[in-house]
Amino acid sequence: MTLVTARTGDPVVKAHNLVKLYGEHRAVDGIDFDIQPGETFAMLGPNGAGKSSTMKMISTVSPVTSGELRVLGLDPAADGRRIRARLGVVPQEDILDMALTVRENITVYARYFGLSRTEARHRADELLQFVQLADRADDQVRPLSGGMKRRLSIARSMVNNPELILLDEPTTGLDPQARHLLWERLYQLKRQGVTLLLTTHYMDEAEQLADRLVIMDRGRIVTEGTPRSLIETKCSRDVVELRFGEPALGTDDPDDGAARAETAAAHLRLRSERLPDRVLVYADDGDRALAGLAEHDVSAASTLIRRATLEDVFLTLTGRTLVE
């Protein structure tokens, strides 16, 4: 159903051995990827993985330290302005001008892209319609909710009909309802053929929106693929979650239950991962695994069998959780 390999046509973004250094710190440590026209590409990883630095290099506001980067076929170092003219950028924190109205926030930016005042106004009204803020057009920005501000940021990023929109953690800090509304709008964009690059540390977001993704950790790409293929190849189908109650006072080994579960999993030839509050056991058949664990005298306070997610992929690949 989803395309893993590149579609025809030149990639919108192409990075080869891309490196970004801040002093001694290797924020991006030699990454390779390409983004094809029309696809939604996600970068997934915890804070400090190098996602935002990569985004900044693509939007040409941060110079490349070494390696190769082509955006829309152009070199960011030489053609920054030309690239920016064709990009839309939605920053992580909404940078909106509080002295302006909702509509003016778009028209003022439109002028930076060379639109005439009439074009700018026309375009602003279209975009406000699209992000469902038309009725707030003449309002001040300050009282808008977090979700509305983010939608306004997205509308503003689209003012120049960008060929590529960069979204840096678009739903961080939003409540579930606002997130779903935003996803729906992004999905609309995607259907219209706009290329999207988004960073996120939410697995469900990547699973919902991305055609293809890379998982980043400490400046490197750990793996790449479609959300489904990653779950299938890098993890198991199911995950059994076992939680153990607080150890009784005076017990010799407080982690007795968790330790026994790990040993049992090893006996069953299943991979397990121990977290501070629970033990995860990876299995293609969750029910059978749970039954097997019970035979080995593993008795957890609570158990849960669920489908594996990208979170599990990340944990499997790095041994760490995404949101810490």
Partner 1 sequence: MLPSTASRPATAHTGQTKVPGLFVGMLRVFEHNLISYRRMWLTLASGVFEPLMYLLGMGYGMGSIIGDLSFRGDVVTYAAFIGPGLMASSAMNGTLFDTTYNFFFKLRESRQYDGMLVTPLTIGGLVGGELSWAVARGAIYSAFFVLTLIGLDLAEPLHALSAWPATLLTGWAFGAVGATLTSYARAWTDFDIMELIVQPMFLASTAFFPLTVFPEWAQSIVWATPLFHAVDLTRALALGTAGWSDLVHVAYLVVMGLVFGVLARRRLSRLLLE
Please give the residue ranges that form the binding site for partner 1 (CB under 8 A): 9-10, 12, 22, 37, 59, 61-63, 72-73, 80-82, 84-87, 89, 91, 93, 95-100, 104, 108-109, 111-114, 123, 126-127, 129-130, 158, 160-161, 163-164, 188-189, 192-195
To partner 1, the closest distance from the beta carbon of 38 in angstroms equals: 8
| Per-position b or e across 277-286, b if 16+ CB within 10 A of its CB | ebbbbbbeeb
Q: What is the identity of the amino acid at 79?
A: D
Closer Cβ to partner 1, 187 or 273, answer by number? 187
To partner 1, the closest distance from the beta carbon of 36 in angstroms equals: 10
To partner 1, the closest distance from the beta carbon of 143 in angstroms equals: 15
Closer Cβ to partner 1, 95 or 291, answer by number? 95
Query: Left if phi > 0, otherwise alpha if psi is -120 to 50, otherwise beta: which for 320?
Result: beta
Closer Cβ to partner 1, 43 or 231, answer by number? 43
Return d(Cα 314, Cα 127) in angstroms, integer: 36
Number of H helices, E strands in the chain: 11, 13
Burial of 287 (0-12, 13-18, 19+ CB in 10 A): exposed
- What order do you get walking across the sheet with 279-283 strand by strand? 271-274, 279-283, 238-243, 302-307
Closer Cβ to partner 1, 112 or 237, answer by number? 112
| Per-position b or e across 115-147, b if 16+ CB within 10 A of its CB | beeeebbebbeebbebbebeebeeeebeebeeb
Closer Cβ to partner 1, 23 or 250, answer by number? 23
Q: What is the identity of the amino acid at 122?
A: H
To partner 1, the closest distance from the beta carbon of 100 in angstroms equals: 6
Closer Cβ to partner 1, 56 or 278, answer by number? 56
To partner 1, the closest distance from the beta carbon of 175 in angstroms equals: 23
Return d(Cα 58, Cα 52) in angstroms, integer: 10
To partner 1, the closest distance from the beta carbon of 6 in angstroms equals: 14
